[in-house]
Amino acid sequence: MPGLVRKLTIGAVVLLLAVACAGTPTTFTSTWKDPDAHGVSPVGKTIAAVFVSKNDGQRRSAEDLMVKDLNARGARGIASYTIMPSSQNIGGDQARQQLRAAGADGAVVMRVVGKDQQVTYSPGTAYPAYYGGFGPYWGYGWGTAYSPGYLQTDTLVSVETLVYSLQSDKLLWAGTSTTQNPDNLGSLIEAVANAVTQEMVREGMLATK
């Protein structure tokens, strides 16, 4: 029975993560999976969405986005803030009990763990000119005009994503990802969710049919 619970839970959780991402690069720095967990259909399962942030507005917005996507895919999503408005003041065992009392079989937890800026310099290109005559120089000069170098600054946001079974209180999957230049909180969550889905499919955690 515990194995079945893990299968049902992971399948339901993964649907939450199947969000389309439009052009926001996300890569993983590390992942881990429970070797006994496998994905099945999530339809009809109940999953809690948790976004760890001391900013209540960010937490609510993020969890609402997670729940919306989960519901659209046939599962029943629960935003943790609707059950525990001040979750940072609640102990782990109490939080799990309250989510279980609300009917949640599993939970997806997202937390921003880092934000950095990366500056990249692309050098310019200069070509020697041909000065033998105006005519030859004209074509050569325009075709080999100097391209100045430039600096590009990218914002890199690191997010930790954890997938738990609340029934067995067991971690099923974990990953730390880096997303480049997200436009806002919504695009960050979508980018991470899409990347997590692809990675879990690759690792055999999500059933594709």
Secondary structure of 113-146 as H, E, C letters: EEEEEEEEEECCECCCCCCCCHHHHHHHHHHCCC
Q: Is the pLDDT of residue 4 over 50?
A: no
- Is residue 130 in a domain? no
Whether 107 is in a domain gets the answer yes
Domain that holds residue 84: 2-112+159-202
Domain assignment of residue 138, yes or no:
no
Residue 103 is assigned to a structural domain of this protein: yes
> Whole-prediction pTM value?
0.73
In whole angstroms, give the CA distance from residue 64 to residue 68.
Answer: 6
pLDDT tens-digit map of 49-105: 999 998 999 999 999 988 877 777 677 899 999 999 876 678 888 999 999 999 998
For 165-202, what is each residue's pLDDT tens digit? 888 898 988 999 999 999 899 899 888 888 887 887 78
3-class secondary structure, 111? strand
| pLDDT tens digits along 97-146 | 999 999 998 888 999 999 888 777 666 665 565 666 676 677 666 766 66
Average pLDDT over residues 31-42: 78
Greater model confidence, 39 or 126 = 39
Q: Are 57 and 50 in contact (CB under 8 A)?
A: no
pLDDT at residue number 12: 47
Q: Does residue 8 lie within any of the structural domains? A: yes
Look at 3-7, 27-31, 33-37, 159-163 and tell me which has the smallest mean pLDDT: 3-7
Whether 154 is in a domain gets the answer: no
CATH of the domain at 95: 3.40.50.800
Q: Is residue 129 part of a domain?
A: no
| Residue 77 contacts residue 47 (beta carbons within 8 Å) | yes
Total domains in the fold of the chain:
1
Whether 49 is covered by a domain: the verdict is yes
